[in-house]
């Protein structure tokens, strides 16, 4: 009888272990499926977007941008907002460019506008946003980023004195006191206009800038974003989703609390935003994350404080936080139903087309190659030619 009791207890433990092992296996498979679904939803549009961004990066010289941001009026802010839309600079890679703008005499208000408009959008991010969320959300994201950035620029124009000596910070101080700048992702656009003799190599240069420079800079953060997105979808408790959907304000507070200090570039924020929607957060909350996440993080806030001053930092944060909350609420009130009709993430992985699957394989290969081999390049010449990308320092 004692032996029978021992065997029964052992069998019970084995059954419990088998059940736990089976559940763990199911969770791992579900995570991998969610990871692949997220990758399928963005891969093609990211590949296309970085190619378009490569064209912009190749053709827009520094002098052209600096010339239009040097005026001390609201027109310079409008130019900064418009020029910031297509440029492939995230919230950290924009920092060395802003430092160059400051040194070239650009106004604080134009720099403030540029600092907000540029990281939220970008040609690669716009294409990925369209592929995942549809044209309505994409247009809304671009237009509202311009409005928020212009608001920040206008407030800076009104309340920050350009001649205030206390706010003047030389470029050397940023380079020496702000340690993360030595490892910033991305480089300023030190690219000259394509000359006629270079036209035969233009495709090679575009590919090099697009992947060996632009995508290489965001590969790590993008993969982290996809992994975190898959984890959120896989492990988000159902009762939490029900609670969140019943408390709209909680949507905004939770997302804002996470997005402000978190470093995430505009493109890498997309899989996370999609996973938030799938986990039960409202479209407006996803919009807040996609706006506040790329525009704010501890690194950017430190540089704004050192470069533009305390008043500019207050204006910067206030504009992003209040603007994203207002426009997030506005989106939930008027456009959330339209967005829900465009979402396709919940579909079966077999629904992904051939192009999406191939794009995912290419994107995953490029990401792993760039992450684990800092010297990896598709094209052996061009890209990061002006002094090495910050990803090489990581």
CA 230 to chain centre: 17
Six token digits for residue 89? 């600079």
DSSP, collapsed to helix, strand or coil, labels residue 345 as coil
Estimate to the nearest angstrom the gap between the alpha carbon of 148 and the chain centroid: 17
Residues 86-102: tens digit of each pLDDT: 876 766 667 667 766 77
- Cite the DSSP H helix spans in the chain: 2-59, 62-68, 74-84, 94-103, 108-120, 123-133, 135-159, 171-177, 202-207, 216-235, 238-246, 248-259, 269-278, 283-295, 298-308, 310-334, 336-340, 354-372
| Selection from 11-15, 214-218, 287-291 with the highest mean pLDDT | 287-291
**How many C-beta atoms surround the C-beta of residue 6 within 10 A?**
10
Q: How confident is the model at residue 239 (pLDDT cuts 50, 70, 90)?
A: low
Q: What is the pLDDT of residues 70-126, one digit of tens each?
A: 667 788 889 888 888 887 676 666 766 776 677 667 788 888 898 888 888 878 888
Task: Give the pLDDT of residue 183.
Answer: 35
Alpha-carbon span 109 to 58, nearest angstrom: 27
Q: In this structure, are residues 319 and 148 in contact, taking their beta carbons and an 8 Å threshold?
A: yes
Tokens of 172: 């050397």
Write the burial class of residue 90 (CB in 10 Å: 0-12 exposed, 13-18 middle, 19+ buried): buried
Which positions ≥6 away from 168 have C-beta within 8 Å? Answer: none
Q: Which residue has the tokens 């199911």?
A: 26
0.75 surpassed by pTM? no
pLDDT of residue 347: 44
Nearest of 344, 330, 236, 238 to residue 283 by alpha carbon: 330
- If one counts every other C-beta atom within 10 angstroms of the C-beta of residue 358, the result is 13
Per-residue confidence at 241, pLDDT binned at 50, 70, 90? low
């Amino acid at each position: 009888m004692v032996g029978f009791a021992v065997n029964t207890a052992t069998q019970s433990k084995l059954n419990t272990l088998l059940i736990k092992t089976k559940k763990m296996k199911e969770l791992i498979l579900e995570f991998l499926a969610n990871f692949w679904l997220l990758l399928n939803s963005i891969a093609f549009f990211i590949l296309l977007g970085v190619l378009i961004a490569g064209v912009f990066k190749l053709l827009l010289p520094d002098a052209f941008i600096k010339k239009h941001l040097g005026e001390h009026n609201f027109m310079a802010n409008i130019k900064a907002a418009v020029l910031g839309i297509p440029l492939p600079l995230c919230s950290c890679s924009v920092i060395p460019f802003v430092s160059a703008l400051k040194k070239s005499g650009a106004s604080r208000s134009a720099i403030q506008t540029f600092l907000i408009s540029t990281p939220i959008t970008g040609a690669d991010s716009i294409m990925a946003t369209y592929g995942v969320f549809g044209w309505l959300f994409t247009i809304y994201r671009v237009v509202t980023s311009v409005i928020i950035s212009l608001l920040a620029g206008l407030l800076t124009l009104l309340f920050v004195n350009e001649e205030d000596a206390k706010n003047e910070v030389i470029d050397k101080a940023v380079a020496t006191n702000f340690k993360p700048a030595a490892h910033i992702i991305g480089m300023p656009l030190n690219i000259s206009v394509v000359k006629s003799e270079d036209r035969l190599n233009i495709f090679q240069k575009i590919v090099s800038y697009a992947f060996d420079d632009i995508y290489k800079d965001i590969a790590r953060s993008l993969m982290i974003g996809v992994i975190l997105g898959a984890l959120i979808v896989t492990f988000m408790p159902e009762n939490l989703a029900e609670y969140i959907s019943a408390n709209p304000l909680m949507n905004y507070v939770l997302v804002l609390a996470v997005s402000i200090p978190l470093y995430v570039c505009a493109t890498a924020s997309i899989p996370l935003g999609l996973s938030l929607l799938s986990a039960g957060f409202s479209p407006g909350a996803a919009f807040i994350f996609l706006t506040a996440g790329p525009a704010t993080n501890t690194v950017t806030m430190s540089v704004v404080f050192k470069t533009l001053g305390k008043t500019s930092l207050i204006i910067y944060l206030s504009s992003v936080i209040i603007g994203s909350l207002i426009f997030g609420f506005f989106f939930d009130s008027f456009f959330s139903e339209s967005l829900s009709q465009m979402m396709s993430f919940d579909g079966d992985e077999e629904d992904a087309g051939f192009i999406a699957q191939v794009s995912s394989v290419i994107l995953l290969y490029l990401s792993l190659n760039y992450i684990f081999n800092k010297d990896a390049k598709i094209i052996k010449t061009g890209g990061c030619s002006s002094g090495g990308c910050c990803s090489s320092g990581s």
